[in-house]
Structure 1
């Protein structure tokens, strides 16, 4: 049971200031979780200071400049069922810059198929669940007829799982799929095609609880739940510039390049937050930083077993970036089979490239390649792109570079659910946020925003502040 499942705070927080000044909350960390918590607290009338150690907001979903291009560190997508992240986009006035597909449509290229049979599609029809995917699955060329039928039976069994059953977290998804008749080809061509991108783990390394949540929510809950959205501008435009603008408008004091060195809890219920050259007094503190950083800042007694944060593993994501001298791909993205390439996205317009084409390869669960030298990755991936995209065979490569996030997400291994803490701690006025906390979701932008909402909600309750009504609108839409 997570800490968030028990009433850790029976108090109402520190006494209100006698002069009527607003309560003060300090949010540590300016990723999506911290930005969400800061906006929610400020919208409720709390005075908020947001502290971020990096020179920008956005956490691990950010942009940088390279040779005149604006480059995202990695490709991030979301689904229509990601109602919290969609709320976040609306709150920062960025929804139009990261639109959703009108209808799920994923081109899937098999590098090992003959030219005429290599393209398949996963797309939905305007029919109720599970019929919305029936025609697509029936025509999916990367599986045999028997494999397609077995996938349908497994999907129905998956739909019947109870996500509240703690036993699901003790099992691995790969074993469950094998017990339900899924061939190695079906795992590669369907279950891992979706699961690796959303969980950052292959089926055999993933908790059944998290995998079931992904597939039940994304593919088996609502016909449009899996429609894909992605930023058509650099991520920094959304998660840094527009987020900063929203924070400023809400009255949040935002400090970047400011790293917290310690937290001290006082007998009157207040907190002191130490940064170089300044001590901030606060009525509430939200720690919205990675689990290892949170562990280092937690005061004694804040969690029954603080060491469990260190037992939450991490998983890497490798991103390969290739700039060609001409257009080589007509589609905005595709997924690949029979190749080390996983997903390929066209980032030409978003990067500001004036001529040619810029493709980004998103490689999840990249434990075997995260430290591979760039020259070796070039030798591996450029020939693969030639197999997958015929237009690359006559194009010239202008640039090839790699971005690496060695701790991109928490590892969704079996048993991780019991390690993820809730928003509340045993220290009055101290709350946790981050995609790694107990949101029920894997490490996604959706999980990060939900964690920020949960932390803000817990803090507002303790401070005696009403919840901003619009903040929880996404829960009604879920």
Structure 2
């Protein structure tokens, strides 16, 4: 008598952003029959590119750090590592125009010394803080290093309150803590959970000398997270269906799951909902979460991106951050957009990334133009007199969840209360803010939970890196 072969487990992943792609790859790599459904005509979620004339434009500037081991795994898994290189060592040019005269340049840099001494030399020569303020930063960093970001008490206070208790002046918050924190948390210190801030700063700046080295795509984001991701999914045997929005997720008579999309009903043993929290709330069956209404209490925060194409080169660095100006971070996207290859030789395309942009997200383009072009001229003297070939904006009104104090209790884990149904997305309880890293880690968590329930042997991809 021979045993019958085990029935192949089938999984449906709803959502083709970074979380969904990660979950689908992990499930397929262990032998599951996986279908990935995405309502848009492309993969990548909020990390995507589009065409504007002859340019290929990213919806927004996205960066990652060397400590983002999950996102680095995804880059490697889809064959995109060389297309999103990391700095050899952290080096952030910071221009301050808060005082009269020419913008003053400072740099946040690290050395190869062990933590925390790797930042000491850069901080000692950082001109945007006084000697006393630099000393106070060192003391606060040592206190930060002793914190446990998983401590629930930290989630109940805001980052600004903690900084104030540790002697940080308003200038120190502006010129250092918010310079980094706004870009990574999508909130100022006064509106950010201390727990999430501790994760960002402890992991990024105080875990390893190279943890905060910055990486970004040298090609359009769509090349990485649509084209290469689709190729990796195809190679893994995943059936990828775009323009396929899930309408309902229900239990079948035999205890499996049925996902309705358009005119198709897909039955599966495992379903991963890797969609935004409000969409997930609408698809969850009764009893899936103890308090499903909490998903609707998760606020959102916008990101605005201002795109300027000049008729000449006005910036000689790949990027910089700004102080004393509405401008936050500016990146040179000339090569990645294909500008030089499409008759724009001699011109330059800059992307201005504005996080926590609640006050500006709905302003008309004309008003944003009047606001930002003079600011760029203040920061970049070479822009004075330069012709503007194009000026446009991209708006992500719900770019991230709002990392407000108390947000931790609203974020569900990957498991639901019903077998075979899991959640993924940067808004789930990853311990990270809403970053590309958080999205990938949520995909790992959902896939691991599903595989454990199915009794499938698997190893966490970050086991060695953890």
TM-score w.r.t. the length of structure 2 is: 0.97
Given that 1:263 and 1:271 are in contact with CA atoms closer than 8 Å, whether structure 2 keeps it comes out as yes
Verify: 1:305 aligned to 2:291, yes or no. Answer: yes
Take 2:103 and 2:424, find their aligned partners in 1: how far apart are those partners?
46
CA deviation profile, 1:151-173 (whole Å, cap 9, x unmatched): 11111111111222110000000
Cα displacement (A) at 1:266: 2.7
Partner of 1:142: 128
Partner of 2:60: 74
Verify: 1:390 aligned to 2:376, yes or no. Answer: no
Verify: 1:416 aligned to 2:404, yes or no. Answer: no
Verify: 1:100 aligned to 2:86, yes or no. Answer: yes
Aligned to 2:454, which of 451, 460, 463?
Answer: 463
- Could you list the runs of 4 or more consecutive aligned residues of structure 1 that deviate by over 2 angstroms after TM superposition? 17-21, 112-117, 266-269, 472-475
Given that 1:117 and 1:141 are in contact with CA atoms closer than 8 Å, whether structure 2 keeps it comes out as no
Partner of 1:238: 224
- Written as runs of structure 1 = structure 2, the 5 A alignment for 1:122-161 is 122-161=108-147
Partner of 2:338: 352
Partner of 1:441: 432
- Written as runs of structure 1 = structure 2, the 5 A alignment for 1:198-209 is 198-209=184-195
Aligned to 1:47, which of 5, 26, 33?
Answer: 33
Take 2:63 and 2:420, find their aligned partners in 1: how far apart are those partners?
34
Where structure 2 has 5 or more consecutive residues not aligned to the other structure, the ranges are none
Verify: 1:364 aligned to 2:355, yes or no. Answer: yes
Cα displacement (A) at 1:268: 2.8
CA deviation profile, 1:65-97 (whole Å, cap 9, x unmatched): 001100000000000000000000000000000
Q: Name the SS of the counterpart of 2:246 in structure 1.
A: coil
Given that 1:269 and 1:429 are in contact with CA atoms closer than 8 Å, whether structure 2 keeps it comes out as no
- Written as runs of structure 1 = structure 2, the 5 A alignment for 1:319-334 is 319-334=305-320
CA deviation profile, 1:166-199 (whole Å, cap 9, x unmatched): 1000000011111111111000000000000000
Cα displacement (A) at 1:22: 1.6
Given that 1:151 and 1:182 are in contact with CA atoms closer than 8 Å, whether structure 2 keeps it comes out as yes
Given that 1:176 and 1:208 are in contact with CA atoms closer than 8 Å, whether structure 2 keeps it comes out as yes
Take 1:373 and 1:324, find their aligned partners in 2: how far apart are those partners?
21
Aligned to 1:373, which of 354, 357, 364?
Answer: 364
Take 1:113 and 1:90, find their aligned partners in 2: how far apart are those partners?
44
Q: Name the SS of the counterpart of 2:339 in structure 1.
A: coil
Q: Name the SS of the counterpart of 1:48 in structure 2.
A: strand
Given that 1:75 and 1:362 are in contact with CA atoms closer than 8 Å, whether structure 2 keeps it comes out as yes
CA deviation profile, 1:182-231 (whole Å, cap 9, x unmatched): 11100000000000000000000000000011000000110000000000
Verify: 1:476 aligned to 2:460, yes or no. Answer: no
Take 1:168 and 1:376, find their aligned partners in 2: how far apart are those partners?
39
- Written as runs of structure 1 = structure 2, the 5 A alignment for 1:199-278 is 199-278=185-264
Q: Name the SS of the counterpart of 2:462 in structure 1.
A: helix
Cα displacement (A) at 1:350: 0.2
Where structure 1 has 5 or more consecutive residues not aligned to the other structure, the ranges are 1-16
Take 2:254 and 2:184, find their aligned partners in 1: how far apart are those partners?
44
